[in-house]
Amino acid sequence: MADRSFLDWPFLDDGHRAWARELADWVERGLPALPTPDEHDLDAVYAACGALVRALGKAGLLRACVPAAYGGLREQVDVRSLALGRETLARAGALADFAFAMQGLGSVPVSLFGNEAQKAALLPGVCRGELIAAFALSEPDAGSDVAAMQATARRDGDGWVLDGTKTWISNAGGLADRYVIFARSEGLDRGPGNRDPKGISAFLVDAGTPGLDASERIPVISPHPLGVLKMSGCRIGADRLVGQPGQGFAIAMGTLDLFRTTVGAAALGFARRALDEATARARNRQMFGQRLADFQLTQVQLGRMCTEIDAAALMVYRSAWTRDVLQRRVTREASMAKMYATEAAQQVIDAAVQLHGGLGVVSGQPVERLYRDVRALRIYEGATEVLQLVVGAQHLREAAA
């Protein structure tokens, strides 16, 4: 990697620097040995993602996704370690970042809120890459508006029965072994318009459970495993409830508070790779008797790209440090970091494509892939516009206080 100076920032400790070296070494040695799938072949993409999870687990790199008691890197899931993992892997390849991140997102609800039996059944397998996890929150009419959720969970004897549809679910479509599924619990106060977030609960559901259909896949602009869950009379035991009835909204928001920062870190990885590619192109491309890098307009563009990347990195690692060290909720900091880093990465990558000229839009070129890879990051785990509302509303509450 070209620029690793940010590792000297006071947000990180010596353990994080050793972790960053471990990640970088594996990317250099292990990642090239894995096959690169044909992006137009979803079966190949799914197979490659599964292989990446197993390889990451074998290399010990999924330790960042679980607490130390279950084979993890640190006593508790550490946002800075996750951010370093996502930034490093995203710089190398979007699918590697995806495989790493979804193991964390799909298991962190259990790490934070699950009981001992649930943790023991899921987390060691996630850490070893033997179990693939998934986080099932979004619905066709309930994405950013979680309170609009319509999937239901009704009590049935000593268990629960789930009904409804989930969509945009990463690792659905035949990859995930376990899902954390959010649904409205029967008998809890739902408030006016059936929108009370206190009516939502979380459940840990095996992929093969009768009544759960996870076969439908969604092709997207930058191929990765994404699909639909359909639940029809899906019966699960009482022991599959994560946390307490009605705690699902808090579980979802607590998970997103932790993981939203790491989306910004993935965007950073994409942006750093784009800057590397643009810099190499500018230094080597001859135009009008000189290098592209010799033009002042090129230098101005590169200067803007460098500044955006450093500003985004500062916000990402400040948010992670605040969560890890100060043990504070970081709804505001994580929202700002995710919003700024993803928007900045989009601009940096767009500039890299422009500096490549016609080559930048040729299929398969690194900057062309990055252009497709980064776009979804501005939407999932909080679209930019929603995060602006979150930050603005919290600012007003603090001002009123």
Query: For residue range 340-392, what is the model confidence (pLDDT) as tens digits?
Result: 999 999 999 999 999 999 999 999 999 999 999 999 999 999 999 999 999 99
Q: What is d(CA 108, CA 114) in angstroms, rounded to the nearest whole number?
A: 9
Cα separation values, 299 from 275, 282, 285, Å? 12, 9, 14
pLDDT at position 194 is 64
Whole-structure pTM over 0.85, yes or no?
yes
**Please, which residues bridge with residue 163 across strands?**
152
Q: What percent of the chain is predicted at pLDDT more than 70?
A: 97
Residue 169 and residue 212 in contact, taking contact as beta carbons nearer than 8 Å: no
Q: Which residue has the tokens 């690792």?
A: 171
CATH of the domain at 227: 2.40.110.10
Domain boundary residue, one of 132, 156, 179: 132
In this prediction, residue 142 has a pLDDT band, given cuts at 50, 70 and 90, of: confident
Cα separation values, 282 from 127, 275, 349, Å? 41, 10, 14
pLDDT of 318 > 60? The answer is: yes
Residues 211 and 347 both lie in one domain? no
Q: What is the mean pLDDT of the chain?
A: 94
Residues 239 and 337 both lie in one domain? no
Query: For residue range 2-11, what is the model confidence (pLDDT) as tens digits?
Result: 567 888 899 9
In Å, how far from its chain's centre is CA 23?
Answer: 17
Residues 90 and 59 both lie in one domain? yes
Query: For residue range 250-302, what is the model confidence (pLDDT) as tens digits?
Result: 999 999 999 999 999 999 999 999 999 999 999 999 999 999 999 999 999 99
pLDDT of 192 > 70? The answer is: no
pLDDT at position 1 is 43
One-character DSSP codes across 57-71 = HHTTGGGGGS-GGGT
Residues 6+ apart with CB under 8 A from 16: 7, 80, 81, 84
Cα separation values, 271 from 3, 58, 90, 281, 306, Å? 12, 28, 9, 15, 9
Residues 6+ apart with CB under 8 A from 92: 27, 31, 269, 273
- Span 163-189, mean pLDDT? 92
- Span 211-217, mean pLDDT? 97
Residues 389 and 288 both lie in one domain? yes
Domain boundary residue, one of 109, 132, 155: 132
Q: State which amino acid sits at residue 356.
A: H
Residue 268 and residue 309 in contact, taking contact as beta carbons nearer than 8 Å: yes
381 is catalytic: yes
- Span 194-206, mean pLDDT? 87
Look at the chain and count its residues: 401
Torsion of CA 182, 232, 190, 158, to 10 degrees: -80
- Span 171-192, mean pLDDT? 85
CATH of the domain at 73: 1.10.540.10
Tally of domains within the chain = 3
In Å, how far from its chain's centre is CA 325?
Answer: 21
Residues 333 and 229 both lie in one domain? no
pLDDT at position 144 is 83
Residues 41 and 146 both lie in one domain? no
pLDDT of 188 > 70? The answer is: no
Q: What DSSP designation does 238 have?
A: G
Q: What is d(CA 206, CA 180) in angstroms, rounded to the nearest whole number?
A: 9
For 194, the token pair is 């059936």
Cα separation values, 122 from 60, 73, 106, Å? 16, 16, 10
Q: What DSSP designation does 159 have?
A: E
In this prediction, residue 109 has a pLDDT band, given cuts at 50, 70 and 90, of: very high
- Residue 276, classified by CB atoms within 10 Å of its CB into exposed (0-12), middle (13-18) or buried (19+), is middle
- Span 57-86, mean pLDDT? 97
pLDDT of 193 > 70? The answer is: no
Angle between helices 331-356 and 248-284 (to 10 degrees): 30
In this prediction, residue 143 has a pLDDT band, given cuts at 50, 70 and 90, of: confident
Residues 278 and 386 both lie in one domain? yes
Which residue in 22, 381, 385, 398 is the catalytic one?
A: 381
Q: What is d(CA 182, CA 174) in angstroms, rounded to the nearest whole number?
A: 19
Residues 277 and 299 both lie in one domain? yes
CATH of the domain at 309: 1.20.140.10
Residues 224 and 272 both lie in one domain? no
Domain boundary residue, one of 190, 213, 246: 246
Residues 23 and 119 both lie in one domain? yes
pLDDT at position 162 is 97
Q: Provide the greatest CA pair distance for the chain.
A: 80
For 137, the token pair is 């929150």
pLDDT at position 190 is 58
pLDDT of 227 > 60? The answer is: yes
pLDDT at position 350 is 98
Query: For residue range 89-101, what is the model confidence (pLDDT) as tens digits?
Result: 999 999 999 999 9
Residues 232 and 265 both lie in one domain? no
Residues 96 and 201 both lie in one domain? no
pLDDT at position 296 is 96
In Å, how far from its chain's centre is CA 158?
Answer: 34
- For 18, how many CA atoms within 13 A lie in the half-sphere containing its CB? 6
Nearest-CA neighbor of 22 among 69, 97, 73, 70? 73
pLDDT at position 272 is 97
What's the domain range around 181?
Answer: 135-246
Q: Dihedral of CA 131/31/378/220: which sign?
A: negative
